[in-house]
Structure 1
């Protein structure tokens, strides 16, 4: 297999060794070290991708301020998208021209006992449903990528995030780099072992044969329940958005348009809340 175009979405909470807001949010006392750890996990995935036949690797910094990855330490074979706002957020730059998606450093959804678990906005989002199925960042990204006809081949994170991905799509290879003990505590896989596993699993995942998802432009329903009623009060100004109770809104659209619309939700929510991290 050769000539593969690989897309990497890189989050931070599921990175090797990181367990606390101080590790993943500026100006946390360990944030700068966390940036190095994040970059090295991504580098392991990049190495594995090229071993698996990639000729192009695009990395999207998908965490928080989206300027976490260190360009001078990033594998020079990869191209980086850095900064925000980005209309498609965690999948900015992804399109049908890519062959596969790798998710590095992901975490479990809100309400699940995983390391730094949440859905997109710290504590602001209580729950998300896609067609009445509870979902987090993992499932939304998976289905948005599938709408482009691009399969997710790999996810790295804690064991809870890996289980969430496997429940959504059992064909996705996963690497657990830590095992959740609580929301801010984990039993860590040794760093060298975790990075070797990311590299080798990315390599094998790209070599594996998997069907291309059928591009599906049918209408999907997204429902979001917020902690803050003010967010739900503002969002119905967006055409097509309906408030179903004081804190819940719903909207119908095909993927990946729905994913782009949800990113607009996040920008509105950020504007009307203080959005403190991981309360």
Structure 2
């Protein structure tokens, strides 16, 4: 059984603030350890369920967060950026399931460090007219490849968002949002035990799950804080305006996810360093 893990950071056990998840935050180095331990819990659960190959993609921010020397030795790691498929780099139809560790809710949701890909610069996103964030786009892309999402860990808002997309995905809430930068935290040992148990359980019932219909092609619309970003993106073939700050494009789902990565790189060039929690 081949398992793919996409690892974000805002939904990791114990982390609530930018200082925990962004270098050079005062608690970032501690956050890296916490992230690695949550991922290790998912790896242990996958191995106990029969996984024979595990690929982990460091999918947060600089994508250089996970500590290889502390990562479970039976997993391989993709680290660094840029990556054409960003949070799904390395995923293909040969995998049996995706595990999402440390995820957060989309922009506009009252979740811990909620945002969509690029902080304040991305105001909102829609997939086939439905509001979407990182969770929904990852799920739709994996479904098109024929790979089910089996597990998601994060705060309660992220778990609720995943349930709205696919109620068959097993979720683990490691903290309950009290505000955007405050949460009630589960004890670390308890949270990691829950992640490990859920990873095992979710993979043990894979064969009984109904396949999720693929979106192919699909239409993605992105509303930017800056009209300049929208204007520059119109130079990409197939991109059209909805209004002065919103662009849309229609493409097969894996290609659409890749195009979003291009959108984000253009936006970063125009707006400078991201401030994801402004």
Superposition TM-score tier, normalisation by shorter sequence: over 0.9
Normalised to the residue count of structure 2, the TM-score between the two structures is: 0.97
* Structure-2 residue corresponding to 1:183: 180
* Structure-1 residue corresponding to 2:73: 76
**1:68-103 Cα deviation digits (max 9, x unpaired):** 000000000000000000000000000000000000
* Distance across 2 between alignment mates of 1:241 and 1:93: 26
Query: How many matched pairs?
Result: 276
Question: Aligned runs of 1:67-216 on 2, under 5 Å?
Answer: 67-208=64-205, 209-211=207-209, 213=211, 216=214
* Structure-2 residue corresponding to 1:249: 247
* Distance across 2 between alignment mates of 1:167 and 1:12: 21
Deviation (angstroms), 1:246:
1.1
Structure 1 counterpart of 2:16, from 1, 19, 24: 19
Give RMSD over aligned pairs: 1.0
* Structure-1 residue corresponding to 2:277: 278
Deviation (angstroms), 1:213:
3.2
* Structure-2 residue corresponding to 1:234: 232
* Distance across 2 between alignment mates of 1:218 and 1:178: 35
Deviation (angstroms), 1:215:
7.1
* Distance across 2 between alignment mates of 1:188 and 1:259: 32
Structure 2 counterpart of 1:220, from 210, 215, 218: 218
Instruction: Provide closer, same or farther for how the CA distance between residues 243 and 148 of structure 1 changes in structure 2, counting only shifts above 3 A.
Output: same
Query: Where does structure 1 differ by over 4 angstroms across 4 or more consecutive aligned residues?
Result: none
* Structure-2 residue corresponding to 1:6: 3
Normalised to the residue count of structure 1, the TM-score between the two structures is: 0.97
Deviates more, 1:237-246 or 1:6-15: 237-246
- What are structure 2's unaligned runs of at least 5 residues? none
- What are structure 1's unaligned runs of at least 5 residues? none
Structure 1 counterpart SS, 2:248:
strand
Deviation (angstroms), 1:218:
2.6
**1:217-253 Cα deviation digits (max 9, x unpaired):** 6321100001111110100111000122111000000
